[in-house]
Structure 1
Amino acid sequence: MKPTWRKPAGMGLILLLILFWAGLVGSQAQRIASLPWPLQAIVYCIAGVVWIAPLKPLLFWMEHGRWR
């Protein structure tokens, strides 16, 4: 089986997605810190899960070469 360029490119995109999402959430840290602690917990739990949503199509593309 011949290796493809999609896997290294996909890994790079995953790392960029993580960096982008961490920067976005980190830039809102002061605003989130002003919320009561139960809301902070909810915001950080949601932010910790939402970044995973784009991974399914990206991983599918890495494996099959198409988005659907």
Structure 2
Amino acid sequence: MSQTTLKVEGMTCNHCKMHVEKALRGVNGVEEAQVDLAKGEAVVSGNASREELVKAVIDAGYSAQ
């Protein structure tokens, strides 16, 4: 299992944070996803590829890198 950190932009509130976490947890291979609103970061544990994680965040309406 690996850990990936993404920079997430566009989140402004706790609802945004929860929406991004839900999107990331829906990716096949994700064991856990934690989003820090203040830092604008998501830390994801599991076997999902970085590309899949970035796509999930973008599909949720935010930007990620």
> Shared topology, TM-score over 0.5?
no
| TM-score, length basis structure 2 | 0.34
> Highest CA radius of gyration, 1 or 2?
1
Q: Choose between structure 1 and 2: higher helix proportion.
A: 1
Q: Choose between structure 1 and 2: higher strand proportion.
A: 2
